[in-house]
């Protein structure tokens, strides 16, 4: 009787051992992917397949187990931000650049809404605000609306507990830039119902020096 149960038990233990060995392999593989691709990103931001899942079974499960989803999404958003600012010398390159900017807006908004890290949310909001402000300079018809959206993005970043300095600085700067041109900054400050109400110095950290 003991022999009858010993074989299945040994088989089950073998499967557990193989699963643990596979998981350990994937942990090491993900570590290498993040490390190596971070270096590749610095040297060659347009390199293909940055932070792609390593080969082998269980890569997705290990990524979720390690909580790497937010990290990878944020890294891809920063990569798209750089691609969206590359110089385009042809129609194909310009199309690719604009596509990267549009995809980046979606990733940054997703990061702001779902990322678990305060500093990444602040960074994402700051980058989104910059993109929106840049787009506001491109066309007069939507300039005011995009400027308001940029202010709201900077305001969201400025409210974060960590990494908010850039967003706070850009929020103050944009309000200053908009003030002489006709009152968009004033309207936003006076609008008690808008998301950007009360922004500006009220959100700044005292004695920061800007």
Per residue in 56-69, pLDDT (tens digit) is 777 777 787 878 88
Which pLDDT band holds residue 24 (cuts at 50, 70, 90)?
A: low
Q: What is the mean pLDDT of residues 164-180?
A: 90
Which pLDDT band holds residue 209 (cuts at 50, 70, 90)?
A: very low
CA distance 75 to 92: 25
Between residues 19 and 149, the one the model is more confident about: 149
Residue 65: C-alpha distances to residues 23, 36, 108 (Å): 10, 20, 23
- Which percentage of the chain shows pLDDT scores above 90? 44
CA distance 124 to 74: 8
Per residue in 46-101, pLDDT (tens digit) is 888 888 888 877 777 778 787 888 999 999 999 999 999 999 899 999 999 999 99
Place of tokens 């691609």: 83
Identify the pLDDT of residue 188. Answer: 46
Residue 127: C-alpha distances to residues 30, 108, 135, 151 (Å): 27, 8, 12, 12
Identify the pLDDT of residue 98. Answer: 93
Between residues 191 and 97, the one the model is more confident about: 97
Contact 195, 155 (CB under 8 A): yes
Query: What number of helices (H) and strands (E) belong to the chain?
Result: 8, 0
Identify the pLDDT of residue 14. Answer: 47
Contact 128, 101 (CB under 8 A): no
The pLDDT of residue 17 is above 70: no
The pLDDT of residue 143 is above 70: yes
Contact 137, 143 (CB under 8 A): yes
């Amino acid at each position: 009787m003991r022999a009858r149960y010993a074989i299945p038990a040994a088989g089950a233990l073998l499967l557990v051992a193989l699963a643990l060995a596979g998981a350990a392999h994937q942990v090491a593989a993900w570590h290498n992917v993040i490390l190596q691709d971070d270096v590749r990103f610095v040297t060659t931001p347009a390199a293909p397949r940055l932070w792609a899942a390593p080969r082998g079974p269980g890569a997705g499960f290990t990524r979720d187990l390690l909580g790497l989803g937010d990290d990878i999404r944020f890294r891809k958003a920063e990569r798209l931000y750089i691609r969206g600012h590359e110089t385009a010398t042809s129609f194909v390159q310009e199309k690719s650049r604009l596509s990267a900017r549009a995809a980046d807006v979606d990733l940054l908004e997703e990061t702001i809404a779902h990322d678990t890290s305060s500093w990444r949310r602040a960074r994402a909001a700051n980058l989104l605000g910059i993109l929106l402000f840049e787009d506001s300079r491109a066309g007069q018809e939507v300039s005011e609306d995009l400027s308001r959206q940029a202010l709201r993005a900077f305001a969201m970043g400025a409210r974060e507990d960590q990494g908010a300095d850039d967003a706070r600085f850009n929020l103050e700067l944009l309000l200053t830039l908009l003030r002489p041109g006709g009152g968009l900054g004033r309207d936003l400050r006076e609008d008690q119902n808008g998301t950007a109400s009360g922004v500006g110095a009220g959100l700044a950290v005292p004695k920061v020096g800007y």
